[in-house]
Amino acid sequence: MLKKTLGLEIDHNTWAANCPPSKSFVNASTHCQIDMQAAFLMLGTLTMPNLMSPASPARFWAWLRYFLAVSQRDDFRVTMDFADLDPHQKGILSDDFGDDFGVALSTQWMYDTLGGFAEIVDGRRFLLQFKGLRVF
């Protein structure tokens, strides 16, 4: 229901030695469909504390928060209800929605492009566990 068309450009010069991390990125289409419902659910799941049950309602926070803001159109627009907010509320929506939307969109695109993830690791936990590790 909330599939959006994403046009993208992959700049191969941004990778070290011009080597992409996966052949899937090289062969990725410049246009793809992103299921925003799945993206919001993934965002809620990935930002849930590890101790919580996967059946927890906390998993749905992003979907509940943004589902009604996304228009039914194929592009990336908000509904008229959200477009008519006062400037202060619109600024808050822009900041929050922009950040969360960007993470949800890019994570869903990588998931779809790579055919899933083996494992996603919490960044803070990774840094604490591998303090001496140098990543290039």
Domain chopping of the chain, boundaries: 3-129
**pLDDT value of residue 20:** 64
- The yes-or-no verdict on residue 114 having pLDDT over 80 is no
Q: Classify burial at 40, counting beta carbons within 10 Å of its beta carbon; exposed 0-12, middle 13-18, buried 19 or more.
A: buried
Range ranked top by mean pLDDT from 49-63, 100-114, 119-133: 100-114
- What own/partner pairs with CB < 8 Å and gap ≥ 24 does 37-41 have? 37/1, 37/2, 37/63, 37/67, 38/108, 39/104, 39/105, 39/107, 39/108, 40/66, 40/67, 40/104
Q: Is the pTM of this model over 0.85?
A: no
What six digits make up the tokens of 108?
A: 């869903």
